[in-house]
Each structure stands twice: as C-alpha cells, then as structure tokens.
Structure 1
Amino acid sequence: MPRAIIVGGGIAGLASGIAFANAGWDVTVLERAPRIEPMGAALSLWPNACAAIARLGILGAVAAAAAPIRQMLLATKDGATILSRPLPDTALLATRTALQNALLVALGPDRLRLGCEVAALAPGRVTLANGELLACDLIVDAGGIRAPSNTDVPPVYAGYGGVLALSGRVAGPGLGGVAAEYWGRHQRFGLFELPGNRRYWFLMRTQPAATAMPDLAACAAAAEGWPSPVCEAIVATAPDALIPFAVHAKPPPKTLCAPGIIRVGDAAHAMEPNLGQGACQGLEDAAALQAIAAAATPAQVAHHYDRLRLKRARMFVRESALGRLGAQGPAAAQFVMRAVLRSIPAALSEPRLRAMHTMPDYAARLR
C-alpha cells in the first residue's frame, strides 16, 4: 500500500488526506498545532466545491450544517444591481468550523498527528523538529501561503483588507439564499446567510498594510447609507466576533509540484478572495488527487496532477486578482469593470460563470 504524508491540517490538507485514504493509500496528516480548534468565519462553497466534497463523500455532512446559496448578487453601495445570477446547482455557505469538523470525521483520528512541527521536506522523507524521520511515497504540502516547499516567490500584500464576522440571530427577514457583495469606492461589504437567520459578513477596504483594522463601531459607521441588511448584520454581531485580515497573494503558479512533493490549497495557488474560490480550489485539488491516486502509481501522481490542475488553478489566481478592480482598483478601472459587468450579455457571461462553477471530471480526463 503506497503511503502519503500530508503536511498541514487545514481545509486542503484534511481534504487531501481523505482523498488518498479513499484511493486506498496509507495516509498521515501532520499538523503543528496541538489541537484542532474552531477557527475562522465562513466559506462560500460554490457548485464546483460542492461537487468536490461530494466526490470525497462528505457533501451530506457539510450540507446539514450549512445554508444554501441560491443566487449571486453584485450591487452598488445604493443597492443598484451590477450582476445577478441564480445558481441552479448546489452551493452552500458553511462556517469554516462546520466544514473542518466534517473533514475531521471523514479523515478519522488515527490518520491525524497533532503537535508535529516539520523541520524539512525531501523526496520520500519528512523530518520533524524533534528529529523523527518519516518515510513515504509522496509528500503533499498543504502548509498554506508560506508553505515550506514553496518559498521562491514570497506573498505580496494586495493593497486591501478589513474584517469578517459571524453575527448572532438577525431580527429582520432572511436573505432568501442570496449571496451579496456591495461595491462602494475603495470599500465593499459582503453578506451571506447562515442557518438560524445568522449572517456571515465582511468589510474590505483599500488601505496601507500597517493600517489598524476597524472595530465594530467603525464598521457600523462605514455601513451607514448601504443596504439595510448590511446594517442589520452588523447590529447583530458581538464586538469580539470580528476577525481582521489583510489580503496577501502570489502570482499564478508555474507548477503545482516540487521534486517528490505536490502542493495543494494556498501552498499551490494562493489567490485573492474576489471570486470566493480559495478554499473551493483546495477542495478541487483533493478531488483531483483522489482520482489520480486511485489510477496512477506514486511516481505518476505529480505529472497527472500538474496536467489536470495547473491550467485551471492559474486561471483562478489570475481572475481573482482582476476581481479587485471593481472596488479596490483605480477610479477609472472601477467604472469600466462595473460598466462591462452590467452590459455583458448573459449569452457571454453565463458560459464563463458555468465553467468556473463546474468541476472537471478529473477521473475521465485520466483515461
């Protein structure tokens, strides 16, 4: 039985562990934290990500704790529609903790080693900080944007950041499954529905890297004059629920692999959040690896993985960077992007959006 070692117990790492286990490999996921704790806010799982977790066998578990996304809405600060699209295929808004828990259950505790600090990676060998050597047929680096096998190109600050949060129960009506993003000038709010009439929301704004992130009162002040559901979500949020973030990313990757190592998630393709595809692409990585690992020898996995995933991953990194222009770009770029999105015929936009939201049949592409 071939053996894979996954370095990193985040979303992409846990999903990759499940993928190799499903393919009949012996798997160990190494996580440096002493325990897996609730973390983060929420993730939009677009149809391609839902297809990926269905392949991994956890769609039912994730859906049970998530809210459906039935429509995408992009609008201006005053609520005027820029782009609206119904989602006929399954899409979900899940807390990061709920997705993490579903992944942990599917992986199983025997395949996860906590408190493991990795000192070095080499083909077929992982060296831990305590000197322990672990041998394997394949290493999967899921170590995030500063992954140990991918330090050649450092992450770069994208020029914007803000806060995100999970609210308590909102007093107003539900959102009807609408996932909305509202664009102002150098500022935007995102708003998504969670079970129990709670909200996941974020504020992004153009700012220098060292700028202090806003507190709840500053978010409420910034939301004045924006659509009322934004203000309602902020009112229902506890002051200590805000999670600050500054957006960093890397350019499109030239490869998803290093000698004896393959990369998944942000270790492979760290992108800006403008398409909501960061975690989705990590889940697609895992679905592709499951198909490859079930059909190929350990020596062939990296070749097939790059062949099946590199072009699509590069596209998402590139398109995610362009997506900032609508709210974080120069004034002229904001005007042009909004005008284009409003005027582009559905006959042209729909195939493009559908291609993004449709996970390729990786198993068929291996044949």
Structure 2
Amino acid sequence: MRAVVIGAGIVGLTSGIALRRSGIDVVVHEHAPEIRAAGAGLGLWANALSVFDELGIGEQVRAIGKPSEMYFHDPAGRLLDTPEFGAEDHQYLLVHRAKLTDLLADTVGRDNIRLATGFQSYDEHDDHVTVRFTDGTSEDADVLVGADGAYSAVRAQLVPGFPAQEHAGHQVWRAVIPATGFTVPENRLILGYNRCRGGYVRTYDGHVYWLLNQFDSPPLTGTRKQQALERVVHLQEEGQDSLLADLIAATPEEQILQNQIMLVPPLPHWVSGRVVLAGDSAHAMSPHITAGATLGIEDAALLGHLLAPGADVPAALARYQAIQIPRYEHVAELSAAVEHAPTPEEFARHYAAFSHWMISQQPQRPEMHPEKHTVQA
C-alpha cells in the first residue's frame, strides 16, 4: 500500500511516521522549498507524548522539551486554583516547533519528503487516487492524506465551500528569546482584563517563550511590539512591575510573531473513499486551548492504526471519520466554554476540565499490528 501525505508540518510528518510504521510506503509532499516550522513554542500534552512513545521517538521528543505546567494566575499574582482536578491535568511538555519538526522529518526519512511540490488536485478512482502537483508531476496512491493546515488545498477539493475563516477579533503575539539578563523564577500564565491573557514559560535550552493574546481586540495600530505592549498592561495591577512587559520590550521587532487567529468551521465530512483530512485541515481551532498540535497528532496515530497493507481503505477512512467527528464536536464545546468563561476563575476551571477530558478520553484505537516496529530514518 502507498500513501501520499500533503504537508510537512507536525501532523503531516507524524502521519508519515505512523503510516510507515504500519508497513505502508509513504511520500510526504511539501509546497515550500524547505521544511520550516511556523510559530515558536509548542505544548504537547500526555496523549501526544503517548503517541510518540508508541512510534518509538518519545525519549527523543522529551530530550528537546521542558516539562511545564498549565496553571493560571490573576493580574495580582494570585493562583487560580482548581482543586477538583489533579496535577496531571495541568502538566505538558514545552518544545520548540522547529526542533520537533526536524526530528519528525529525520524520522520519516528525508528521502521520503518531496519539497517544492505543492498539491494541485486529485482524481479519485475505485482502487486508487491520482494526485497532481504544481510542478506538473503526478503520483498514484492507495490513500491521500491532507495534512496541509487551516488553508488546506486538499480540503478545498474534498469539502468545497468551507474555507478557513477569521476568529473575529482574536489576535496573538509571541516570541522565543534568550533569558540572558532576566530572572525567570517560574512559569507564569496570567488571565487579565479586557479579554487578554498571556505569560511566559522557560524552555529546556535557557530561552523563554512569551505569549499574549486578546479576544475581541480593537483594530491593530503601530508595530507588533507596540501592539503587545499596549495590551500587557491588562495583565498587571496598576503600578506593578511586569516581567512579561520587560520580555516583550527586549524582543527584537522582527522576532515577534503576530497572527489573526483563523478557524476551520465544522465540516460535514472529513473523508471520501480514498482521501482523508488530518490536523488543522480538518479542525483548526483557536489556540487558547493550546492543544491543536496534540489533537492533530492523535489523528495521525489513528490513521496509522486503521490503515495497513491489505486494509479496506474506504472502510478504514469511514471508521476514522466516525470516531473523530463526534470527538471534535465535544472539543468545540469545551473550547467554547473556556473562551466564554465570564471570570478568570471560571476560565481556569473550564481549561482544567478540558485538559482532564482530553488526557483521559483518548480516541479508541485498534490494537497495534504485531509486525509493527520502530521506524528508522
């Protein structure tokens, strides 16, 4: 069996690893001329780490990450406690996106990745799918995996009329900088006023990752740094010193990432007979729940379990959809409860409820095939 994966991001590469481990011949196509990660820090929850353990690279992933905790404070520095949830519901691993992407690409095998070959279209047949690329080439496969993100070209053909849309007024700023010159005694995530939240976490290599976001943001003016500094005041009490403000001020303008958050609306279907969506191409959501990558990694793992040489591809993809669409309907409900929590205390409680559910209610997967083994790059 042969699979074509579109997109060499975290979910696309993890899909390639999972499918290879199932004994499937995989080629990953990426429209960019090089593999590059968009973004800075990335949180991986326990369910993502269990996938990487299963794929034989868990220790390598942990080696490029730093154990962190998702607890929130108010602007006065008070901990917003959630005593009904355990410590495990707050624990995650913070990794650098670029380092994780490189590790996954090495594990897939660089020879199995085709760069500068953007997806153009596909033709689906009873027994195969023909995939056409922007460089004029084409390839036949048993299954096509669209892991090409919120602006997915595969989704545009599979589910026309469902483009990515703005999460109106939701803006985010973030960066990773050296911690030189700063004392960062602990990680701190703050729920502030005017629908702002933000904070900073220490990375494994002596850097610090800071972020700030705002729901219902007014129109943006000024530079990215000015925009962030205008909002950081909502995360501190009047007259209080702010390490987050100092970190923002010390960040070179060109290192600050700023994005309008985009969402993928609920889709009527994720699959056809031989085409399937995974990750943000199927369910891009607001990053205020900081679980998009973890949930997409679960998609990849499930495809690896359901597909194997000799499998009934349409039946396997139908099973994938039957498991995942209801799961993401519930994810959307939990995410909305966090976003629309009327107080910081309720935000913290709803967030812990989401992470508890996500970690404890992982998708049911068939047993691993006994012949599977760790992928070697």
1:312 equivalent among 305, 322, 327: 327
1:111 aligns with 2:121: no
Query: 1:36, CA displacement in angstroms?
Result: 1.3
Deviates more, 1:231-240 or 1:143-152: 231-240
Taking the TM superposition and a 5 Å limit, the aligned residue runs for 1:204-353 are 204-207=213-216, 211-212=220-221, 214-224=223-233, 226=236, 228-294=242-308, 296-326=311-341, 334-335=342-343, 338-340=344-346, 353=355
In structure 2, the residue matched to 1:67 is 66
Aligned to 1:329: none
Distance 1:209 1:145, change over 3 A: farther
Mean CA deviation greater in 294-303 or 159-168:
294-303
1:355 maps to: 357
Q: CA shift at 1:153, angstroms?
A: 1.6
Shift of 1:165: 0.7
Deviations 1:185-232 (A, max 9, x none): 222213222123321111112456863475324434543462744234
Structure 2 Cα separation of the partners of residues 189 and 273 of structure 1: 12
Evaluate the alpha carbon distance shift between residue 50 and residue 181 of structure 1 in structure 2; reply closer, same or farther with a 3 A threshold: farther
Unpaired runs of 5+ in structure 2?
Answer: 370-377
Task: Measure, in 2, the Cα distance between the counterparts of 1:363 and 1:238.
Answer: 48
In structure 2, what is the equivalent of residue 166 of structure 1? 176
Q: 1:213 to 1:286 in 2, by over 3 A?
A: farther
Give the Cα–Cα distance (whole angstroms) in 2 for the partners of residues 271 and 350 of structure 1: 18
CA distance in structure 2 between the aligned counterparts of 1:301 and 1:174, rounded to whole angstroms:
48
Counterpart Cα distance in 2 of 1:354 and 1:365 = 25
Alpha carbons of 1:298 and 1:43: their partners in 2 closer, same or farther (altered >3 Å)? same
Q: Please, what TM-score do these two structures have when normalized by structure 2?
A: 0.83
Query: 6-15 or 213-222: which moved more?
Result: 213-222
Q: Which of 201, 204, 209 in structure 2 is aligned with 1:192?
A: 201
1:185–1:81 distance in 2 versus 1, CA, 3 Å: farther
Counterpart of 1:211, as a letter, is L
> What is the alpha-carbon distance in structure 2 between the residues aligned to residue 179 and residue 126 of structure 1?
46
Equivalent residue number for residue 331 of structure 1: none
What TM-score do the two structures reach when normalised by structure 1?
0.85
Specify the alignment match of 1:330 in structure 2.
Answer: none
Cα distance in 2 for residues equivalent to 1:270 and 1:216? 26
- Equivalence for 1:54: 53
Q: What are the Cα deviations for residues 122-162 of structure 1, in whole angstroms up to 9, with x where unaligned?
A: 32110112332210000001111121232322222112103
Among 129, 140, 149, the residue aligned to 2:145? 140
Q: How many residues align structurally?
A: 350
- Given residue 142 of structure 1, which amino acid in structure 2 is its aligned partner? A
> 2: distance between equivalents of 1:243 and 1:133?
35
Question: 4-13 or 38-47: which moved more?
Answer: 38-47
In structure 2, C-alpha distance between the alignment counterparts of 1:181 and 1:310, rounded to whole Å: 32
Note the 1:2-81 alignment, pairs <5 A: 2-69=1-68, 71-81=69-79
Please give the alpha-carbon distance, in whole angstroms, between the structure 2 residues aligned to 1:351 and 1:162.
23
Task: Give unpaired runs (5+ residues) of structure 1.
Answer: 327-333
Instruction: Kindly provide the CA deviation profile for residues 324-345 of structure 1, in whole angstroms up to 9, marking residues without a partner as x.
Output: 224xxxxxxx23xx45457x6x
CA distance 1:245–1:350, change in 2 (3 Å): closer
- Shifted more, 88-97 versus 106-115: the winner is 88-97
Shift in CA distance, 75/88, structure 1 to aligned 2, threshold 3 Å: closer
SS of the residue 2:59 aligns to: helix
1:74–1:339 distance in 2 versus 1, CA, 3 Å: closer
In structure 1, how many angstroms separate the alpha carbons of the residues matched to 2:213 and 2:354?
25
Would the aligned equivalents of 1:170 and 1:232 in 2 still touch at CA under 8 Å?
no
Are the counterparts in 2 of residues 68 and 90 from structure 1 also a CA contact under 8 Å? yes
Counterpart amino acid of residue 334 in structure 2: E
Question: Partner of 1:160: helix, strand, or coil?
Answer: strand
Rounded to whole Å, the distance in 1 between the matches of 2:250 and 2:220 is 25
CA 340–361 in structure 1, closer or farther in 2 if over 3 Å, else same: same
Q: Are residues 324 and 232 of structure 1, via their aligned partners in 2, closer, same or farther at CA, if it must alter by over 3 Å?
A: same
Q: Which moved more, 1:83-92 or 1:111-120?
A: 83-92
